[in-house]
A = this chain, B = another copy of it.
Amino acid sequence: MISVHFQPGDVTVEVEPGTTILAAAEKAGVVITAPCGGRGRCGRCRVVVDEGCDEPTGQERALLGDRELADGVRLACEATLRDDATVRVPSGSRTVSGKILSEDAWKHLALHPNVHVDHLDLPEPSLQDQRSDLQRVAEGLGLAADDLPAHEAALTELPVALREGDFSVTTVRVGNRLARVLPAGRDPQALGVAVDIGTTTVVAYLVDLQTGARLATTSAMNPQARYGHDLISRIEHVQSSPTGMADMRGAIVELVNDLISQACEEAGASMEDVYEATVVGNTCMHHLFLGLEPRYLAEAPYIPIVSRPVELDADDAGLAINRAGSVYCLPIIAGFVGADTVAVLLVSEITSRDHPTLAIDIGTNGEVMLWSGERLLVTSCAAGPAFEGGEISRGVRAAEGAVERIWLRNGDLDYATIGGAPANGICGSGIFDIVAVLLDTGVADTMGRFIDDDAAAHLPPAVAARLRGDGPTREFIIVPGGDGQQELTFTQKDMREVQLAKGAVRAAVELLCAEAGIEVSEIEEILLAGAFGNYIDRRSALRMGLLPEVELERIVGIGNAAGAGALAALVSVAQRRRAVELARTAEHLELMASASFQMVFADSMIFPDRQESGVNSSASGA
């Protein structure tokens, strides 16, 4: 075995000699950009190694210049390790960088759950000690009897458990409430489940609350999708059908129960041992889970029914966990700024930064958060589904065959698909790349217009040949048809959709900064939540002007913040308090209420000149 040390990150891993640097990096948990799937085609996985590698391969010699090879630059997917080595991964070769907060972030939190397990050896009652069973237990826990409310189920089992256990018992409390009493020797597991209800996907994480160990994770598509993929059509279903609310609530509650049940089965646990569920979702998912009328979320002025945390009995929530169990729904902020956004604020620790920091979470809707160093401002914007492939003529979700990377090479375009399968569409990260390529080559101008054939004569011929059609039907061929390949194009209309989405997000950034009284240029760090943050090429995002100019290093993916937030709240009541505090102090800015919104939005749709962007273009590998 040889030892490979990665920088930055200071991660060391042991591998067999002959392993590629890319494989070693994967083992070390270091993410290196490899859009072509590690097949030596794109030349994007450049790393710097001083010694310890085999000689460069033919592909490396073809894709890297002599000076680069002399400087120790290698392609991570090609170079094989022979001896102990130190590998430096330049920022350009990392999709995300810096501190990665994923749903595992909660593991670093001090375990401080809301569920308490105690073992008690109590004195037996006598004519001289006639305390009630509950008072005996309360005082055994060091509490006054009044400070130990008890669930009916616990009161029912209390006398029998005490006497079966000869007054040695194990108690489980949820919050301050007695939930279960078992005779000594029949120790209960105390489990909890964190639930992330997304519009598309629902995830349940089963956790042992005594050890902090994550026991199982289950997920499934949100079955409410049968009533519509987007929030508005779901809200309309609630309105239009007498059973609308029951359908919608029933579907999600049933799924959450199924996911918990599956997770318990995987972990060999019983649902009776699950005492608490924490729930995160956007405001509409939150309302539908609780059976609350969502209509007013969708009508101006977009008012939620309740924004503070909702705690309710598992029974009332319809969850089939322990009957004395409890459900905690994280707070929300506004009609379009939900608990998922609170989770981003929570797990990103944005307010502990000493510099202006932006956080962005983009799905169908976009939420933009700004920490000015003093104030915390949040807003939502109708980014539309363009960044997820929706409304784009050949857009697809990120799945096998989706074009996920596009770059310029030798005066022409190259691309990579997920899983290396034949291209069947373009997904979010591919859309970012194609827009950057079109801007860099000059195929599109700063107004997003595709140039005409006359102007295209100045382009590299291979690129110019990809343009066809006129006016609104003009389009750019990404993948030519034939040879068993589907033709894949990006149209002028697609460009407009991207512009609208980009304009909405950027306008939000501009208006938040204006409200906070800072310049956009003062932002030093950008946190990207969700899949969006993990997969887009940061340079492409900068190139299209979606993000303010910051150092690439300071654009940080923070992973699935919603799930991480639900987990953080599950394992730590201190985190719940923080979430409440963040939701309370966050100032919600309603973009529609801003007099200057339309103008800022229009300005924000314009793409930056190549000169404006201080970043090396995505074509740097050419």
Apart from A130-B334, A132-B304, A134-B307, what 5 extra A-B contacts exist at CB < 8 Å? A127-B300, A130-B588, A131-B303, A132-B332, A145-B307
Chain B residues with CB under 8 A of A292: 155-156, 159
When the two chains form their complex, are residues B146 and A312 in contact, meaning their CB atoms are under 8 A apart?
no
Shortest Cβ gap from A555 to chain B (Å): 30
Q: How far is the CA of A149 from the CA of B310 in the complex (A)?
A: 8
Q: 8 Å CB contacts to B: which residues of A114-141?
A: 125-135
Instruction: Give the interface size bracket for A toward B.
Output: 35 or more
Selected A-B contacts with CB under 8 Å, 16 pairs: A125-B303, A129-B301, A132-B332, A133-B296, A133-B305, A133-B306, A134-B307, A134-B308, A135-B306, A146-B308, A150-B306, A152-B312, A155-B306, A156-B291, A158-B305, A159-B303
Measured between beta carbons, the chain B residues less than 8 angstroms from A163 are: 296
Contact A301 B126, beta carbon cutoff 8 Å = yes
What residues make up the interface of A, taking CB atoms closer than 8 Å to B?
Answer: 125-135, 145-146, 149-150, 152, 155-156, 158-160, 163, 290-293, 295-296, 300-308, 310-312, 316, 332, 334-335, 580, 588, 590, 592-593
Known: A306-B134, A588-B130. A293 touches B593 (CB 8 A): no
Q: In whole angstroms, what is the CA distance A456 to B128 when docked? A: 49
A159:B295 contact, CB within 8 angstroms: yes
Q: Which residues of B contact A155 (CB under 8 A)?
A: 290, 292, 305-306, 310
Given A146-B580, A291-B152, A316-B152, check contact A134 B301 (CB 8 Å): no
Q: Are B593 and A304 in contact (CB under 8 A)?
A: no
Which chain B positions have C-beta within 8 A of A149? Answer: 311
CA distance A310 to B163 in the complex (A): 22
Q: In the complex, A311 Cα to B334 Cα: how many Å?
A: 34
Question: Quick check: B293 and A135 within 8 Å, CB to CB?
Answer: no
Q: Which of chain B's residues have a CB closer than 8 A to the CB of A131?
A: 303, 307
8 Å CB contact of A133 from B132, B304, B334:
B304
Q: Are A303 and B152 in contact (CB under 8 A)?
A: no
Residue contact B306 to A132, C-beta cutoff 8 Å:
yes
Query: In whole Å, how far is A33's beta carbon from the nearest beta carbon of chain B?
Result: 41
**A303 contacts B590, CB within 8 Å?**
no
A588 neighbours in B (Cβ, 8 Å): 130
- For A337, give the chain B residue with the smallest CB separation: B130
Given A135-B307, A146-B308, A307-B145, are A302 and B130 neighbors across the interface (CB < 8 Å)?
yes
Are B303's CB and A132's CB within 8 A?
yes
Q: Which of B127, B158, B306 contacts A592 (CB 8 A)?
A: B127
Query: Assuming A125-B301, A305-B159, is B152 touching A290 (CB within 8 A)?
Result: yes
- CB neighbours (8 Å) of A293 from chain B are 156, 159-160
- State the 10 A-B residue pairs at the shortest beta-carbon distance, nearest first: A127-B593, A132-B307, A134-B306, A132-B304, A127-B590, A133-B305, A127-B301, A125-B303, A145-B308, A125-B301
- Shortest C-beta distance, A311 to chain B (Å), equals 8
Complex Cα gap A296–B160 (Å): 10
Distance between Cα atoms of A242 and B129 in the complex (Å)? 31
Contact between B159 and A296, CB atoms less than 8 A apart: yes
* Residues of the B chain whose Cβ atoms lie less than 8 Å from the Cβ of A593: 126-128
In the complex, which residues of chain B have a beta carbon less than 8 angstroms from the beta carbon of A127?
A: 300-301, 590, 592-593
Question: Could you tell me the distance between the alpha carbons of A295 and B291 in the complex, rounded to whole angstroms?
Answer: 41
**Shortest beta-carbon distance from A565 to chain B in Å:** 19
A305–B134 CB distance below 8 A? yes
